[in-house]
C-alpha cells in the first residue's frame, strides 16, 4: 500500500517536472507566429495594472490581446460629452511595445451601456447621431492601432430573430449595416467583425447570422468576418462536424472567422477534478482543430488568461477553472492540448 502511494507520488512529481520543462521551452505565441496565426487572450484592467506575472504570461504566450471591458460603451463613453481612453490606451501601448495585435471589443451592444443613454428616450435622429459619433470617435482614436473590431455584438436571439435593444427599437435593423460603414470610414484598414455566442453549430441563430453577413458582403458593406465566442462547458458536447461545416461556408464566401472568447466551464460535472481538466483540454483542442481545418479561421482567443481572473465565478456564483492557466499561473492540461493542436496543424 505504502509502496503504491510512493510510486504514484513519484509519477506525479515526474509528470510535473516534465510539464514544467515543456512549458519553459515552448510557447503558444512562438508556434502560432511562425504561421501568422493569431493566438490571444482578453485582458482585464485590474490585473493588467497590478500584476506583472499576468503581463508576463500575456507577452510570452499570446500575439494578440482583446480589451475585455474597457472599450465597452459605458466604460469608454461614460458621459454624453466625454470619453475615457486612459486604460485602453495603456493596453494598446503595451501591445505595441510587445509586438502584439489588439482586438477592440465592442462598439455596438445591448449591455454595459451608460446611464445617460438608457435613462431617457432619444429620437431616431438623435440616437443615430450618438451612435455614429461614438463609433467614429472610438475607432478614430485608435486608427492604425487596433487590428480588428467587434463592431456589433450579440444582435441575434437563439431563434434567429433580431434582439430587441435600444438600437433596433430606435434606429431600426439598419443599425447593423450603418455601424460597419461608420467604423470603416473611421479606420479603413481595421478588420470589422460581427461577434456572437451559440453561433458555432448549424442552428437558427447561426443561419441568420451567416445570411446577414453574406447579404452585407454582397451589398458592399465593409464586413470582414464573424466572431464565434465559444463560451463552453464540459457537460455540453459540441458537434465539431457542424462547426467545421459552418466555418467552411464562411470560407466559401470569402469572410474570415475567429474564435473570440473561448473558455470552458467545469463546474457542472460530477467527475473528479483531474478528469474534468482532461475533458476541458479535449474540448479546447477539438474546437481549435475545427478552426484550423478552415482557411477562414485565423484566430483563437481565450476569454481571460488565468483561472484567477474570470467572469464565470461572478456570473454563476460558483467556483470554476475555465482557462489555460490555473490560479497559480501554471499551464493546465488545456494549455498543453492547445499547444499540441497548434503544433499538429500549423506548418
Which residues would be at the binding site for ligand G3I (CB under 6 A)?
68-69, 72, 111-112, 153, 229, 261, 311
DSSP string, 61-123: H-SEEEESSTTSHHHH--BTTB---HHHHHHHHHHHHTT-EEEEEEEE-SSS--HHHHSS---
Catalytic residue among 261, 275, 286, 319: 261
Angle of the 240-252 helix axis to the 204-218 helix axis, nearest 10:
10
Q: What are the angstrom distances between the C-alpha of 23 and each of 57, 94, 98, 309, 342? A: 11, 23, 20, 21, 14
Q: How far is the CB of 153 from ligand G3I (least distance, A)?
A: 6
Is there a catalytic annotation at residue 261?
yes
- In total, the chain counts a number of residues equal to 347
Cα(80)–Cα(84) distance, rounded to whole angstroms?
11
In the bound state with ligand G3I, the residue whose beta carbon lies nearer, of 205 and 336, is: 205
Q: What are the angstrom distances between the C-alpha of 44 and each of 185, 201, 232, 275, 322? A: 28, 29, 20, 29, 16
In the bound state with ligand G3I, the residue whose beta carbon lies nearer, of 131 and 230, is: 230
The C-alpha angle with vertex 290 and arms to 289 and 292, in degrees rounded to 5, equals 60
Q: How far is the CB of 203 from ligand G3I (least distance, A)?
A: 18
Q: How far is the CB of 105 from ligand G3I (least distance, A)?
A: 6
Give residue number: closest CB to ligand G3I.
311
Q: What residues does 162 pair with on adjacent strands?
A: 156
CA 289 to mean position of chain CA atoms? 17
Cα(183)–Cα(80) distance, rounded to whole angstroms?
19
DSSP string, 235-303: TS---HHHHHHHHHHHHHTT-EEEEEEEEEE-TT--S-HHHHHHHHHHHHHHHHHHHHTSTTEEEEEES
In the bound state with ligand G3I, the residue whose beta carbon lies nearer, of 19 and 83, is: 83
Please, are residues 227 and 194 in contact by the beta-carbon 8 Å criterion?
Answer: yes
In the bound state with ligand G3I, the residue whose beta carbon lies nearer, of 134 and 336, is: 134
In the bound state with ligand G3I, the residue whose beta carbon lies nearer, of 179 and 342, is: 179
Q: How far is the CB of 270 from ligand G3I (least distance, A)?
A: 25
Q: How far is the CB of 45 from ligand G3I (least distance, A)?
A: 7
Q: How far is the CB of 124 from ligand G3I (least distance, A)?
A: 26
In the bound state with ligand G3I, the residue whose beta carbon lies nearer, of 27 and 310, is: 310
Residues whose CB is less than 8 angstroms from the CB of residue 50 and which lie 6 or more positions away in sequence, other chains included: none
Catalytic residue among 50, 97, 125, 154: 154
Instruction: Show which residues are catalytic.
Output: 154, 261
Amino acid at each position: 500500500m505504502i509502496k503504491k502511494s510512493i510510486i504514484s507520488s513519484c509519477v506525479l512529481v515526474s509528470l510535473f517536472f516534465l510539464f514544467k520543462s515543456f512549458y519553459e521551452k515552448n510557447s503558444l505565441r512562438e508556434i502560432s507566429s511562425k504561421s501568422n496565426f493569431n493566438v490571444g487572450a482578453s485582458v482585464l484592467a485590474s490585473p493588467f495594472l497590478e500584476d506583472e506575472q499576468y503581463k508576463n504570461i500575456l507577452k510570452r504566450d499570446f500575439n494578440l490581446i482583446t480589451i475585455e471591458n474597457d472599450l465597452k460603451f459605458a466604460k469608454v463613453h461614460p458621459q454624453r460629452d466625454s470619453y475615457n481612453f486612459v486604460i485602453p490606451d495603456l493596453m494598446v501601448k503595451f501591445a505595441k511595445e510587445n509586438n502584439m495585435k489588439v482586438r477592440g471589443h465592442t462598439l455596438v451592444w445591448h449591455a454595459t451601456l451608460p446611464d445617460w443613454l438608457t435613462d431617457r428616450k432619444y429620437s431616431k435622429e438623435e440616437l443615430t447621431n450618438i451612435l455614429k459619433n461614438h463609433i467614429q470617435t472610438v475607432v478614430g482614436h485608435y486608427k492604425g492601432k487596433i487590428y480588428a473590431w467587434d463592431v456589433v455584438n450579440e444582435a441575434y436571439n437563439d431563434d434567429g430573430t433580431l434582439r430587441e435593444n435600444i438600437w433596433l427599437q430606435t434606429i431600426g435593423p439598419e443599425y447593423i449595416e450603418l455601424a460597419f460603414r461608420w467604423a470603416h470610414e473611421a479606420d479603413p484598414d481595421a478588420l470589422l467583425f460581427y461577434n456572437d455566442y451559440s453561433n458555432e453549430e448549424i442552428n437558427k441563430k447561426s443561419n441568420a447570422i451567416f445570411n446577414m453577413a453574406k447579404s452585407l458582403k454582397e451589398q458592399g458593406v465593409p464586413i470582414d468576418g464573424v466572431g464565434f465566442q465559444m463560451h463552453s462547458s464540459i457537460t455540453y458536447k459540441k458537434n465539431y462536424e457542424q462547426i467545421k461545416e459552418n466555418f467552411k461556408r464562411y470560407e466559401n464566401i470569402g469572410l474570415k472567422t475567429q474564435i473570440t472568447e473561448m473558455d470552458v466551464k467545469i463546474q457542472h460535472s460530477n467527475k473528479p477534478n483531474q478528469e474534468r481538466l482532461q475533458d476541458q483540454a479535449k474540448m479546447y483542442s477539438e474546437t481549435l482543430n475545427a478552426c484550423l481545418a478552415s482557411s477562414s479561421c485565423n484566430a483563437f482567443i481565450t476569454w481571460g488568461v488565468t483561472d484567477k481572473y474570470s467572469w464565470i465565478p461572478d456570473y454563476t456564483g460558483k467556483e470554476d477553472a475555465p482557462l489555460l492557466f490555473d490560479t497559480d499561473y501554471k499551464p493546465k492540461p488545456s494549455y498543453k492540448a492547445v499547444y499540441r493542436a497548434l503544433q499538429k496543424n500549423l506548418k
